[in-house]
Structure formats: C-alpha cells, structure tokens
A and B are shown apart, each in its own frame.
Chain A
Amino acid sequence: MTAAAVPLLEVRGLVKRFGALRALDGVDLDVAAGTLTGLIGPNGAGKTTAFACIAGAERPTAGSIRFRAAEIAGMPASRVTRAGIGRTYQIVQTFADMTVLEATTTGALLHHPRLNEAVARAEEVLEFVGLADKRQRLGRALTIADKKRLEVARALATEPDLLLLDEVMAGLTPAECGAAVELLRRTLARGITILMVEHVMEVLMPIADHIVVIAAGKTLFRGSAAEAVRDAAVVEAYLGAPPAGDGAEAGR
C-alpha cells in the first residue's frame, strides 16, 4: 500500500520559456493513480504547454516530471508514450489517409508487434469507444466528435496507464459531450488514470476527483472540485472570467 502514497504523476517546479516569454513559471501538480484530474485555468495560463512538456512534445526549461517515480522530463514524445502515457491533441491530429481501423492499429502495434494481434486489439478498442461501425472510414472523413473519439481510441490502443486529454469536449454538442463523459467513466473503470485540460466546467466538475488550477504559468490551487468552486482565488482567476473566453481557446 505504500505505492499508493506516491502519485502516478508528480510535477514539481515546471518552467518553460519561449525566448523572453515564461509560458510556465513553476507548475506543481500530482495525479493519483486511478483518478481523474482536471487541469483548468484562464486562456494563456499555460495548460497546453504543461501538457506538451509532460508528453515530451516540448522540452521543459527546468523542473521535474516524475511518472511512476521515474524522471521523464526532457524525454522525446515517443519514449514518454512507451513509458505508459497516452495523449490526445487540442487540435485533432489524424493520420489523414489511414482508415479508423488502421490508425488505431498503429497505436496497438506498440505492445503487439504482430499485425494480426494489433488489429484484434484495435477492434476491441474501437468497440470500446464506439467507433467499430466506422472502422473502414478514412480519418479525414469523420465528424469532429468522431475524430476526437478516434484520437482517444488511438491513445488507448497504446495501453497507457495515464491518459492526457487536451480539450476533448471542445466543439462538441451537449449530446456528444454526454457520450464523451460516459466514455471517460468507462475508461476510468478500466483502471486508466486521466489528466485532462477542459473548458466546459459543467462537464468537468461532476467527474473530476481533483482540480488543478494554473494561472500565468503558476499553480494557483490544488484540491477537490467542491473546494475549487469555494476558493476565492480560483473564482476570481478563472470561474469569474467572462464566459466569452471559453470558446476562444479552442481556436488558438
């Protein structure tokens, strides 16, 4: 039981500079195994940059990122994935000329090098996310909601322990959001830990075990969703922000 005391992901003092701009200026966050943690903050707070650093797409300027107690800061993205962290992108990144099944199979090949095993694994994942009937469609011919679902499928096919989701709900209709939340619950039930950036607060609050708020590149708050709503600083920095800002970040 001592392992439970160490969080699955532990970020300390994360700093990322782009030239003179300090996009991240000391971010701390913990993600406990088996939980769903929401990462929120105003536009430009550095949420996507923090994700990029954790996933290995950007090299942090300073700070430590420990996954299962091993340092992963500065590792290339492909090694981070092999260590057990899957991700989706805020702006959907598809393999344009691959079918849904082929794209998911590409993910499954990470742990199943033989193609027939990988295809079988991909079929299971597509069944799980509800894309099985569209397996022969081309990735580029899907709706936005299905493209996001395909990204989740591709990430799940790599069999991650931790899934990073960057605004998977942005641009979805309320009905599609509902389906996505249901998918997240089932993913958690499989024992996969989730860290997600989300803008649709009404969606995040009921499902998040923990909330991390960052503003101006710094961690402002860590705690439960209920505490976050009560915290004056959070309300001022983020929840009090005009709702017009919500949709804007998706287009950034």
Chain B
Amino acid sequence: MIALGAIVAAGLVTALSVRDAVALDLVFTLLLYAVLGQSWNWISGYAGNISFGHAIFFGCGAYASALMVTHGLSPWLAIPAGAVAAAALAIVTGFPTLALRGHYFSIATIAVAAIVDALVRTQPWLGRATGFELPIASGWAALQFADKGPYIVLALVLFTAVQIATIALERSRLGYYLRALRANHAAAAAVGIDERSWKLLAFAWSAVIASCAGVLYAQYTLFVDPPSTIALGVSIDIALIGVVGGIGTLWGPAVGALVYVVLAKGVALELGGTGKGYDLVIYGAIICVIAALRPHGIVGAIVDGLRRRRGALELGAASATGGAA
C-alpha cells in the first residue's frame, strides 16, 4: 500500500511537471504494460494457465473504442462495451480450453488468438487489416487530450485500481482457490474447488482489465489495427512482462513493465531507435538470464529471500528430509 501510494505520487508529479513528450510516452507505456501484465498475471500467474493470446482482450477494448468513436458515440461507452465483449470472449474460449494443462493450454491460446486475428482482418466492419484512425477531438467528453498529462493521470487511476483489485484478489476466496489449483489440481478438487468455474471467473476479470487498458490505449494513440493490438507479438510482450517480474506476485508485472520499458525501449532509444532490434536483444538477454538464474522472476526472488530470512523454510535436518520426499 505504501509502495502504491509512492507510485501514485510520483506519477502525479510526472504528469504535472514533466513536459518532455518522449519521457511522458515512456511513463504512459510503463503504466499501460503494468496493467496488461497484471491482467495476464491473474490467469497465468495466480491460476497458472500460461496464456499467449492475451492481446485479444486488449483488442476488445481498443476496437470497442474505435467503433464507438467512428460511429459518433461516446468513447466512455467503450469501457462497458469492451468489458462485456472481453468477458464474453474469455468465457466462450475459456470454457473448453481452461481445463487443458501446460503446453496444451498455451498453444490453444495461440490458436484462439490467431483465429481471432485472422477473422478481424477479413471483417469490413472491424476495419480489416488497415484498422481505424480515430477522429481528433479534445476534452473529457471525448476522452482525448492535446496534452499527455491527463493520459498519465488516467493510466495511473487504472493502474491503482488494478493493483488494489489484485490485493483484494490475494485476500479472497478466488485468490486462494487459484493458487491451490495452480499448485495441485487434484488436491484442489479434494477441498471442493471446481476448477472450471473459478478459472472462468478469473479469466473473465482478467479479460475485463485488459479491455480497459485497450480503451485507454486507443484513446491515446488514436490508431487501432491488428498488429498493434491483437497480434501474437503483443500477446508475447504481455506474457514476458508478467514473467520477468515474477508470476503470481502483486508487484511482478509492474517490475516487469519497468524492465521492459526502461531497459529495453529506453536504452534502445538512446542507441538510436527501436527499428534496429537493439531493444529485442537487450530484452531477450534479460529474459534469458532471469529464466536461467532467477526462474521465479525478480519479485519472486525477493519474496523467496525474505521468506528464507523469516525462516519459513527453516532448512533444518527435519524439514530437509521432508522436502526431499
């Protein structure tokens, strides 16, 4: 909670004082990715169903925004509309696939996302492959601003809400049940947990969060097309952010987004643009090192360290034999 307060304060100061467009763009991207990473973390981190298709829910929000605005409706309506679409898509696709385990689920999410991507590219009402350019407007009613400051504030509101929701998740029946299902589905069934219904609930909420981020993204870039919203590359970015920071942890996605945006994008900008692949090299190397040396992610490694200090593991003679069995 203290950390959250500090971030909100720092974000507000940034929004009000910084005028450098590139820096503000990085801050916005950071917050957006932290939200998307947390959304992914609900189903893939806490529940353990690793998704490589999460961008389709982000796309629900972005496309809802594009459709509302291009049809002359308020972009605010895109928030509930995108949420309903995302939740429905999560339930329809999750119902058959969430019971699949390990790689089968992960590849199923790639398959579902690829089908959605291909279908969007053939639908005239969804702008086919070229997508939508949103007409320029200004003000809170149009959810568009000439200045980047209000976008940072909105991103900060969304980020704070999602972090608080995640704290609530960790302290709820749903949170406990997801962790139990991830740890051992047979033992989870033995305490009365119905895998499908609880995972569907988490998947739907996770999709709603991603959709909210999608609305904000569309209103910020004013451009929505398949490669920037629903493509496999976006899904992979989201998943890798979740894992770099540490899956199934409250602050993992935020730390992952920080690593991604500051280290990869930021350093690549300094080295002369992202078009040359330097960002991928740096980011790929970071992921490789973390996966090989700190496979529980950055936050996961810190949590393990704290636990060890508190003695929860207490690797004495007695517990060592238990751990070996």
Contact = CB atoms under 8 A, between A and B. Distances in A.
Interface stretch (B17-25, B107-115, B187-195): B187-195
Contacts of B167: none
Contacts of A93: 184, 186-187, 190
A137 B319 contact: yes
A109 B187 contact: no
B194 A76 contact: yes
B186 A57 contact: yes
Contacts of A144: 321-322, 325
A177 to B, nearest CB: 17
A158 B172 contact: no
A103 B179 CA distance: 10
Interface in A114-170: 115, 118, 136-138, 140-144, 146-147, 154-155, 157-158
B193 A78 contact: yes
Given A97-B179, A115-B171, A110 B192 contact: yes
A134 to B, nearest CB: 9
Interface stretch (A1-9, A30-38, A82-90, A234-242): A82-90
Contact of B322 (A105, A115, A146): A146
A29 B188 CA distance: 27
Contact of A81 (B171, B176, B190, B323): B190
Contacts of B3: none
A109 B177 contact: yes
A55 B190 contact: yes
Contacts of A118: 173
Interface in A34-51: none
Given A78-B192, A78-B194, A93-B190, A141 B179 contact: no
Interface in B179-213: 179-180, 183-184, 186-195
Interface in B139-191: 171-173, 176-177, 179-180, 183-184, 186-191
A187 B11 CA distance: 56
Interface in B267-325: 307, 310, 312-315, 318-319, 321-323, 325
Contacts of B177: 106, 109
B162 to A, nearest CB: 20
B252 to A, nearest CB: 14
A121 B93 CA distance: 37
B267 to A, nearest CB: 33
A74 interface: no
B2 to A, nearest CB: 22
Interface residues of A, number: 43
Given A136-B312, A141-B323, A110 B187 contact: no
Contacts of B310: 136
B180 A95 contact: yes
Given A78-B193, A158-B192, A141 B315 contact: yes
B187 A89 contact: yes
Interface centre among B180, B191, B319 (most CB of A within 10 A): B191
B325 to A, nearest CB: 6
A103 B184 CA distance: 11
A118 B173 CA distance: 9
A158 B188 CA distance: 11
A99 B314 CA distance: 13
B199 to A, nearest CB: 12
Nearest to B325: A144
A56 interface: yes
Contact of A143 (B176, B313, B318): B318
B189 A78 contact: yes
Given A109-B177, A141-B315, A98 B183 contact: yes
Nearest to B184: A93
Contacts of B313: 137-138, 141
A217 interface: no
A102 B176 contact: yes
B322 A142 contact: yes
Given A95-B179, A141-B314, A144-B322, A57 B189 contact: yes
B65 to A, nearest CB: 36
Contacts of B192: 78-79, 81-82, 107, 110, 158
Contacts of A147: 322, 325
A130 to B, nearest CB: 15
Nearest to B187: A93
Contacts of B190: 55, 57, 77, 81, 86-87, 89, 93, 154-155
Interface of B: 171-173, 176-177, 179-180, 183-184, 186-195, 307, 310, 312-315, 318-319, 321-323, 325
Given A93-B184, A154-B190, 16 more contacts: A77-B186, A78-B195, A79-B192, A79-B194, A82-B192, A86-B190, A86-B191, A87-B190, A93-B186, A94-B183, A97-B183, A110-B191, A136-B312, A141-B313, A147-B325, A154-B187
9 smallest CB-CB distances across A and B, nearest first, come from A81-B192, A77-B189, A93-B187, A95-B183, A143-B322, A110-B192, A107-B191, A141-B319, A78-B194
19 contacts: A77-B186, A78-B188, A78-B193, A81-B191, A89-B186, A93-B187, A95-B180, A102-B176, A103-B180, A106-B191, A109-B176, A115-B171, A137-B319, A138-B312, A141-B312, A141-B313, A141-B314, A143-B319, A155-B191
